[in-house]
Structure 1
Amino acid sequence: MINSHAGNNSFWEAALNALQVKLVYNRAPLAAVSATGPVILIANHPYGVLDGLTMCYLASRLRPNFRILLNASLCREERIAEHTLPIDFAVSVAATRTNIDSKRKAIEVLRGGGALVIFPAGAISTAISPFGQVTDMEWKLFTAKAIQATQATVLPVFFHGHNGRLFQLVSQFSQTLRLSLIIYEVIKRIARPLHLRIGEPIPYAKLAAFNSRQDLIDHLRQVTYALGGIPQPDPARYKRYENNFVRKLKASAAPAVEH
């Protein structure tokens, strides 16, 4: 059921309107979400900004109490602070503490009947090779942990499209250039439609049979990409892909700060 507390002038809608982004999507699944109980919204992460704004807009239509796990560097905007849970990609004790605290709060939000937005890959979709298929990296297990811990309903969302070929090319060798192009990619999409497809809400009863978190997250990835008509390869391939990608970024000697 769509949240009656969501106003037309929410920050998320205002941001999308400012960018003149028209969302093109099927609305029926939103209305099918129960008005009570925890909800986790998951999606692929092809853009980095527009998909984040859109997911928060959708979450605001479902629950007044929602959070998004977000790159810590993007959590400084006061107008959205009440909805963000920072994830710090720095290698430090402080970052580890921040991440543990954010994940704990995420579980608390769900146990309170709220909604949580997660991009399970934790990074923007990237081409496996400079001119190869653009896809998410390995989906992390925290999403499965949160589902099992709170028996949340899952709402899968698939975003069509991805960042441009220049973004994919520089991602092969420079994290600094990769990050600098994210805003460029946003500018490119001003006044253009953004196509996404929302899947039917999946009640926990349909996921309870998955004892393994890995099996559960692999299943949800398949379900999400199926909304876009994209078959997924063997999950082991994502791990090899991510290991290679992370190795290249470490070689570029730049900090990883995206989500």
Structure 2
Amino acid sequence: MIDWGIKIAALDVPNEIYNRSKHLTGPDFCKDVLDKLEITRKVRNAEILKEFKDRPFITVSNHPYGHIDGIAAIETVGSRVPNYKMMVNIILGLIDTMAENFITVNPMKYGDKNSITFAGIKESIAHVKNGHPLGFFAAGAVSNLIFKKGKIVIEDREWQPSVTKIIQKVKVPVIPMHISGNSSLLFYMSRIFGYQVRTLRLCHELYNKKGKEMVLTFGNPIMPDKIKSFKDDITDLAQYLKEETYALGYK
């Protein structure tokens, strides 16, 4: 019965994928995972990263798929610039072969939501202040079906103020990174059964991307002076960064 439940939830899928590539770490692990899933990556405007090979910057991205987004982002950016890290949740953070590229938010470690946020912010700021690049899925959750301007679209929820606060604090260029695609209809429908069921469904989403194409598009850097012009309005800054990122998907 337990084995049957694991199969239904697809909890065996991440282990299977991990075991095939666990002899590698970091961007090399990510590349091997994506290659073995036969996922084609098309990267547009990646030459922007050459300007920042030895300089700190932040990437902000939409989050259409789930686990695959982080794997693709780390392969794409981490293979081009050293010491790139992303803030991720505890589930993705369990992948030890990618630990060198993670700042993991772990609710169980601190027991207090405010402490977790502070710990993640503190580590993120220190990483950038030490001259290294950092990445965020600024919504802090996978994209969903939403009703917008009279139609149903797949889009991130509002981007989180904790991310924009870090961006304002560190005063480095921000590079928008748009990731194409969407999850399955079953994933979006699983929302009605609660967060836990939806999280389990991400395991299915990891494997059903086999053979598909992902397009990652980098936008022009948003410089600190532009970010400073928003002053203390973190809501407007978050919306601006989100719009700049999604605009890349329509070009």
TM-score interval (norm. to shorter): 0.7 to 0.9
Higher helix share: 2
Say whether residues 1:229 and 2:247 are aligned partners.
no
9-18 vs 136-145, greater mean Cα deviation? 9-18
**RMSD across aligned C-alpha pairs, in angstroms?**
2.5
Runs (5+) with no aligned partner, structure 1:
1-6, 231-259
Deviations 1:126-149 (A, max 9, x none): 1126x9322111100122212221
Q: 2:187 aligns with which of 122, 146, 167?
A: 167
1:135 aligned residue? 155
2: CA distance, partners of 1:43 / 1:9: 18
Q: Is the CA contact (8 Å cut-off) linking 1:127 and 1:133 kept in structure 2? A: yes
1:45-64 paired onto structure 2 within 5 Å:
45-64=63-82
Alignment deviations for residues 151-188 of structure 1 (CA, whole Å, 9 cap, x no partner): 11111111222111111112133223212221212211
Preserved CA contact (<8 Å) 2:160 2:238 = yes
- Alpha-carbon distance change, 141 to 33 in structure 1, aligned in 2, over 3 angstroms: farther
Aligned to 1:244: none
Partner of 1:35: 53
Q: Displacement of 1:189 after TM fit?
A: 1.1
- 2:92 counterpart of 1:74: yes
1:219 correspondence with 2:240: yes
Write the distance in 2 (CA, Å) between the matches of 1:9 and 1:120. 21
CA distance in 2, matches of 1:143, 1:10: 27
Secondary structure of 2:174's aligned partner: strand
Aligned to 1:182: 202
Give the aligned residue type for 1:56. Answer: I
Pairing partner for 1:206 from 197, 211, 226:
226
Q: What is the TM-score normalised by the length of structure 1?
A: 0.77
The 3 A distance-change label for structure 1 pair 165 and 66 is: same
Larger mean Cα displacement after TM superposition, 195-204 or 93-102:
93-102
Distance 1:21 1:115, change over 3 A: same
Q: Name the count of aligned residue pairs.
A: 223
The equivalent residue for 1:21 is 39
Residues 1:108 and 2:126 aligned together: yes
1:66-106 CA-partner distances (Å, limit 9, x unpaired): 22111113323322222211223569735543432222011
The answer to whether the aligner puts 1:126 opposite 2:144 as a matched pair is yes
Uncovered stretches (5+) of structure 2, i.e. residues with no partner: 1-24
Percent identity reads: 25
Secondary structure in structure 2 of the residue aligned to 1:117: strand
Distance 1:226 1:75 in 2: 29
- Scaled by the length of structure 2, the TM-score of the pair is 0.79
Aligned mates of 2:113, 2:67 — CA distance in 1? 22
Tell me how far apart the structure 2 counterparts of residues 28 and 70 of structure 1 sit (CA, whole Å).
Answer: 22
